[in-house]
A = this chain, B = another copy of it.
Amino acid sequence: MKHLTDIKSLSRSDIQQLIESTQIISQSSTKDTKTWHHGHSAVALFFENSTRTLTSFQLACQRLGIDITALNISHSSTQKGETIKDTLLTLDAMQTDLFIVRHQENHIHDQIIDWVSHDVGVINAGDGTNQHPTQGLLDLFTIWQHKQSFENLKVSIIGDIKHSRVANSLIDGLEIMNTKEIQLYGPDSLIPIDKSKLKADSMSSALNNADVVVMLRIQKERLPKGTNLDLEQWHQQYGLNNKNLKQAKPNAIVMHPGPMNRGVEITNEVADGPQSVILEQVKNGVLMRQAVIHHMLTKALN
């Protein structure tokens, strides 16, 4: 694992190894892990704003002893007309060990990998509507913590699948892990054609007997212009509440990548209820990112 741009580049055993490392890190003291990569440095390049993901990566690096410099590129050198390639090459020349890049353009990390030095690792922290592999991995870890395996699970993912890089990475990861059944539900126009075989017929059939229910955030900014979004109607058709959650297995867990639109895709009672593992996902996010970075810098995987 020299880079992590797409969760599909990982094998089942790679993911199993990352899950085990995350588990070990969760039991280690920060004082200990801070010695692991003392002297390494990372640059986080966020062309899209983020609190949650950027902070998670910052804490992951700090807890591994890595110096991280966070750059909000949109506000600086691109204003002087510099291309993203020259920005990357410049930062690369400063001899960092790791680039963590979020960008609005799908697949841009394939180019980034071509540009940077041979000994630098690149992590995709989200590219357009394509992939968000560390989010997929932290979701897999969270499921594994609660269910210990994937091969007998029904996982249902509900909402705007089409514009969700979170859903893409999670679906790919679940398939790699041989998940028994993956169901997708949402408005027909928001289920990608290449995934239509996973489409559930109804909210009920998606929820019925599910072990894991993943609710997605409506991303108003990604919907086609002119979409007249009736939030109340969305909630009626695609929202999760205590009543319809009863259709899932009694020990089903409820996930959401955040930030939540409370009252729209999920009610407060579910978000804050006993089946919700939403804050565990956040906690696991830092731990899984530590594991990914640790493996990349020690060249332990592949």
Q: Please list the residues of chain A having a beta carbon within 8 angstroms of any beta carbon in chain B.
A: 29-31, 34, 38-41, 43, 49-52, 55-56, 58-59, 62-63, 67, 69, 71, 73, 75-77, 79-83, 86-87, 89-96, 258-262, 279-280, 282-283, 285-286
B34 touches A51 (CB 8 A): no
Determine the chain B residues whose CB is within 8 A of the CB of A92 once the complex forms.
Answer: 279
B39 touches A31 (CB 8 A): yes
Q: Is the CB of B38 within 8 A of A90?
A: no
On whether the beta carbons of A285 and B83 are closer than 8 Å, the reply is no
Contact B29 A51 (CB under 8 A): no
Q: What is the bound-complex CA distance between A94 and B281, given in angstroms?
A: 10
* A258: contacting residue among B62, B75, B86, CB under 8 A: B86
Choose one: B30, B50, B82; the contact of A259 (CB below 8 Å): B82
Question: Pick the contact of A261 from B38, B81, B280 — CB < 8 Å?
Answer: B81
Query: Which one of B39, B83, B96, B279 contacts A29 once the chains associate, using CB atoms below 8 Å?
Result: B39
Which of A69, A79, A93, A261 gathers the greatest number of chain B CB atoms within 10 Å? Answer: A93
Q: 7 nearest interchain CB pairs?
A: A93-B282, A82-B259, A31-B39, A51-B76, A51-B77, A93-B279, A30-B39
Q: Report which of B34, B50, B283 forms a contact with A95, defined as CB distance below 8 A.
A: B283
Q: Which residue of B lies closest to A58 (CB)?
A: B69
Bound-state CA distance A273–B41 (Å) is: 28
**Which residues on B sit within 8 Å (CB–CB) of A262?**
83, 86
- Cα–Cα, bound, A236→B260 (Å): 54
B34 touches A39 (CB 8 A): yes
Question: For the complex, what is the distance from the CA of A31 to the CA of B59, rounded to whole Å?
Answer: 20
Shortest distance between the CB of A56 and any CB in chain B (Å): 6
A-B contact pairs, 30 of them (CB 8 A): A34-B38, A41-B63, A43-B55, A49-B75, A49-B76, A49-B79, A51-B76, A51-B87, A52-B90, A55-B91, A55-B94, A56-B94, A59-B67, A59-B94, A59-B96, A62-B69, A63-B67, A80-B259, A81-B259, A82-B259, A83-B262, A86-B258, A86-B260, A90-B258, A93-B279, A93-B282, A93-B283, A94-B282, A94-B283, A95-B283
